[in-house]
Amino acid sequence: MEYTKPADIERESMAIIARELAARGIALPEETAAVVRRAIHTTADFDYAENLRFTAGAVGAGAAALRGGVIVTDTNMALAGVSRPALRALGASAHCFMAEEEVVRRARERGVTRAAVSVDRAMELHPGAVFAVGNAPTALLRLAERIEGGARPALVIGAPVGFVNVEESKERVWEACGRCGVPAIVAFGRKGGSGVAAAICNALLYTAAGLLDPAARE
């Protein structure tokens, strides 16, 4: 059968993912299935069925926070991947502060990364946001510091990709979130990326807006 409509292509892709997961003997918990499948759909990488970890109730907390809430990303690439129709349906918004002049200035003065400073800037403006990190380990490390200092974001999505400080930053923010009661979704190991961070955001947005069926988005 030839698939030409986007909704049909996505629906068949998700069916293939479900079949391959079953063939691998992987049964996803109902609460987290939409997020895991969306990550696999974005990457064609079934490792996400095992390396994505969730604190208890993280998906529900993230979906609830996005009804009229805010997403903060660490890259404009991730920001571009967040579904604008889903944001509008929920009265939500998404932002990235990496290129803001104030962030650039502060980072230069302090001798730290813009990613770390952008976390501080976002905390000033949207302290209860969903923070989605797909690129910068220093953003996750700063989030861990802020959480340990009393900050309480609605959810932390930790999915930076790479080799330097990546695994350590994920472990650090996971520990901080668990100890301080902050919901978290973390892609352990080296894998991740802006696309994965956006995919997780979209799974939460679609869940909150009742748009998991791609036909509902047409």
* Residues tagged active-site: 41
Spatial distance between the Cα atoms of 183 and 188, rounded to a whole number of angstroms: 15
Structure-block tokens of residue 177:
């979130």
Spatial distance between the Cα atoms of 213 and 218, rounded to a whole number of angstroms: 10
Output the CA torsion 10→16→18→23 (10° steps). Answer: -170
Residues 6+ apart with CB under 8 A from 159: 132, 133, 134, 185, 186, 187, 192, 193, 196, 197, 200
Cα 191 to chain centroid, rounded: 13
Spatial distance between the Cα atoms of 183 and 169, rounded to a whole number of angstroms: 16
What Rg value do the Cα atoms of the chain yield, rounded? 17
Spatial distance between the Cα atoms of 173 and 17, rounded to a whole number of angstroms: 29
Q: In what order do the strands lie in the sheet with 93-96?
A: 52-54, 184-187, 155-158, 130-133, 70-73, 93-96
